[in-house]
């Protein structure tokens, strides 16, 4: 009896107390995905109807309060960090309607991408593309211009045909190409500054699997054949490893073939986590990074090569990172891809003795669009993401700033949900519709209810009483 007590106690601890503590911490200690920003709102609203959302905004507008709309907190920047009231659509989720014939799905703004994928699968539908994780809310993902890869595929906001949005004064609008067109163009990639997106109608495609082929090739060869590679498949992305100058080329095409050799299989996940762990350890031992990367690439085929068929969630998404790292990403005109990659390599060469370049660079391709604050506005765009597991923020920022300034020379525009350093004066020269965006934003939120330190910094907004 005595001997059994500690066992029973530890079962109780594991099964009840720890989950309760985690739940408490989750609801009282909010961080963004990376853990860089802590959320300390004065009040949290989790409305479950449009009427409640409108009433919260009317109240805030009358009292001169500010509200920050928060999705799944997957942004690396402080874009969604509230300094007053936080409004979350965690309780406003789910599918409203599926129009199988027209291949459209309407969902509430707080629904995550993964929830949408699962919900429409039963009706034989799929989202045409996904980013590399699917825990983001649909409204949060479109608000920052979240994208996947494929030069014939725009970012997620380009899939949206209609929205319902509640303005800063609590007025509910429906907007699409044909109705309230200016609100539509402004709110799609609206940075949480235009209104609360409560409903989103998205274009789907018939359900598919993805046939994925992954090969390894030297960087120079990849750059010489870039156009052929980028157009060779529906979805192409490149993972560049600096020390070996090798590129992993991921190509996938839609197929109705059944799944085989699932890419999220045990071995791939194991390699991913071993690589991640090794990269993390290397952040403290920069001198060994080159050797570890050589082994990862040449022995373990960093991280895999091969040929498989998997579901969209398996192929588009990558396994969850356990190292919470910072990221910066710039979109440059497609024609600048090779030059910017060469400049990135030169920056890394120059800094390799002070910083551990222990992670790959991800290069993705996105079709140009006409959404006013889209980083892909008016041009086919190459998105280059830099990340590093580094114990020092000082070095990380130094490296990020050098890469950002190179990207800017090529007309680069930052990903709104990742780190960037530019001011409004610098950005408006690269966003041709900046003033139009600001004019509609002002009409939608004359009292500047949607305001936090990110938006005030970016748009020079002061709160109107
Ligand atoms: C591990 C990881 C992988 C990622 N992969 C990719 C990728 O492959 N491609 C890519 O482009 N990005 C990627 N991102 C970035 C991510 O997709 C964006 O930052 C996205 O905006 C996060 O969505 P969220 O729901 O977490 O929104 P949050 O980060 O919480 O908020 C983002 C913005 O959306 C606004 N917002 C949220 N809900 C609403 C609403 N209902 N109405 C109006 N505005 C709203 C917020 O105010 C804020 O401005 C990744 C991020 C992580 C952490």
Name the CATH topology of 31-208+420-465: 3.30.465
> Cα–Cα distance between 59 and 170 in angstroms, integer?
9
Structure-block tokens of residue 80: 């969604």
Atom of ligand 1 nearest to the CA of 74: 26
Q: Report which of 75, 134, 36, 80 is spatially closest to residue 390, judged by C-alpha positions.
A: 36
What is the 143 CA–ligand 1 centroid distance (Å)? Answer: 7
CB 317 within 8 A of CB 148: no
Q: Which residues line ligand 1 (CB under 6 A)?
A: 33, 68-75, 79-80, 89, 109, 131-133, 136-137, 139-141, 143-144, 146-147, 191-192, 196-197, 321, 415, 417
Q: Which residues of 426-450 are buried (b: 16+ CB within 10 A; e: fewer)?
A: ebbebbebbeebbebbeebbebbbb
Q: Compute, in angstroms, the gap from residue 239 CA to the centroid of ligand 1.
A: 22
Do 143 and 197 meet the contact criterion of CB atoms below 8 Å apart? yes
Residue 22 CA to residue 12 CA, distance in Å, equals: 15
Write down the pLDDT at residue 2. Answer: 46
Structure token digits, residue 392: 């020092």
CA of 372 to the centre of ligand 1 (A): 18
Which neighbouring-strand residues pair with 214? 250, 306
> Whose Cα sits closest to atom 12 in ligand 1?
146
Ligand 1 atom nearest 144 alpha carbon: 21
Kindly report the CATH number that applies to the domain delimited by 209-414.
3.40.462.10
Is the distance from CB of 434 to CB of 428 less than 8 angstroms?
yes
Q: Is 347 left (phi over 0), alpha (psi -120 to 50) or beta?
A: alpha
31-208+420-465 matches 209-414 in fold: no
Task: Determine the distance separating the centroid of ligand 1 and the alpha carbon of 111, expressed in angstroms.
Answer: 12
Ligand 1 centre and the CA of 182: distance in Å?
Answer: 22
Packing angle between helix 181-188 and helix 434-444, nearest 10 degrees?
A: 110
Give, for all 465 residues of the chain, the pLDDT tens digit.
Answer: 445 556 666 766 666 777 667 666 655 679 999 999 999 999 999 999 999 999 999 999 999 999 999 999 999 999 999 999 999 999 999 999 999 999 999 999 999 999 999 999 999 999 999 999 999 999 999 999 999 999 999 999 999 999 999 999 999 999 999 999 999 999 999 999 999 999 999 999 999 999 999 898 999 999 999 999 999 999 999 999 999 999 999 999 999 999 886 555 666 667 777 777 888 887 778 778 888 887 777 766 555 557 889 999 999 998 767 788 899 999 999 999 999 999 999 999 999 888 889 888 999 999 999 999 999 999 999 999 999 888 789 999 999 999 999 999 999 999 999 999 999 999 999 999 999 999 999 999 999 999 999 999 999 866 565
CA 310–ligand 1 middle distance (angstroms): 25
Distance CA 272, CA 284 (A): 19
Q: Are strands 172-176 and 205-206 parallel, antiparallel or unpaired?
A: unpaired
| Residue pair 296/357 in contact by the 8 Å Cβ criterion | no
Q: What separation in Å is there between the alpha carbon of 375 and the centre of ligand 1?
A: 14
Q: Where are the domains of the chain?
A: 31-208+420-465, 209-414
Question: For atom 20 of ligand 1, which residue has the closest CA?
Answer: 141
Atom of ligand 1 nearest to the CA of 415: 11
Q: Provide the token pair at 77.
A: 């920047």
| Closest C-alpha among 210, 204, 211, 235 to residue 119 | 204
Nearest atom in ligand 1 to 112's CA = 25
The pLDDT assigned to 88 comes to 98
**Which atom of ligand 1 lies nearest, measured to the CA of 143?**
34
Rounded CA separation 247/353 (Å): 22
């Amino acid at each position: 009896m005595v001997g059994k007590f500690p066992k029973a106690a530890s079962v109780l601890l594991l099964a009840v107390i720890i989950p309760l503590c985690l739940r408490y911490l989750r609801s009282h200690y909010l961080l963004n995905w990376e853990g860089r920003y802590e959320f300390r709102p004065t009040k949290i609203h989790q409305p479950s109807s449009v009427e409640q959302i409108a009433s919260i905004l009317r109240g805030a507008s009358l009292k001169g309060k500010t509200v920050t709309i928060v999705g799944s907190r997957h942004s690396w920047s402080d874009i969604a960090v509230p300094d007053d009231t936080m409004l979350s659509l965690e309780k406003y989720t789910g599918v409203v309607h599926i129009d199988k014939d027209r291949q459209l799905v309407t969902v509430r703004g707080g629904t995550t991408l993964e929830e949408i994928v699962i919900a429409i699968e039963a009706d034989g539908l799929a989202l045409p593309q996904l980013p590399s994780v699917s825990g983001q809310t649909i409204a949060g993902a479109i608000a920052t211009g979240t994208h996947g890869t494929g030069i014939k595929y725009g970012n997620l906001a380009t899939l949206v045909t209609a929205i319902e949005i509640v303005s800063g004064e609590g007025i509910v609008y429906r907007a699409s190409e044909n109705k309230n067109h200016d609100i539509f163009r402004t709110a799609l990639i609206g940075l949480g500054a235009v209104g609360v997106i409560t409903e989103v109608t998205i274009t789907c495609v018939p359900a598919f699997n993805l046939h994925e082929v992954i090969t390894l090739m030297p960087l120079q060869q990849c750059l010489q054949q870039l156009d052929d590679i980028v157009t060779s498949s529906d979805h192409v992305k490149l993972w560049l490893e600096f020390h070996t100058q090798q590129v992993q080329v991921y190509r996938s095409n839609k197929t109705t073939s059944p799944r085989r050799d699932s890419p999220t299989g045990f071995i791939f996940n194991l390699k991913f986590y071993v690589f991640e762990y090794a990269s993390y350890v290397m952040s403290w031992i920069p001198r060994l990074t080159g050797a570890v990367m050589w082994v990862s690439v040449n022995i373990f085929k960093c991280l895999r090569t091969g040929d498989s068929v998997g579901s969209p969630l398996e192929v588009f998404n990558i396994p969850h990172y356990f190292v919470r790292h910072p990221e910066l990403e710039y979109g440059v005109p497609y024609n600048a891809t090779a030059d910017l990659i060469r400049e990135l390599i030169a920056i890394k060469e120059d800094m390799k003795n002070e910083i551990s370049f222990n992670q790959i660079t991800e290069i993705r391709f996105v079709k140009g669009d006409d959404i006013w604050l889209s980083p892909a506005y008016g041009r086919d765009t190459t998105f280059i993401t830099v990340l590093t597991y580094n114990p020092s923020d000082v070095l990380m920022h130094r490296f990020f700033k050098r890469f950002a300034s190179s990207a800017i020379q090529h007309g680069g525009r930052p990903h709104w949900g990742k780190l960037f350093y530019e001011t409004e004066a610098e950005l408006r020269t690269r966003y041709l519709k900046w003033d139009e965006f600001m004019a509609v934003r002002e009409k939608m939120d004359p009292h500047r209810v949607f305001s936090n330190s990110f938006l005030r910094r970016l748009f020079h907004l002061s709160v109107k009483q």
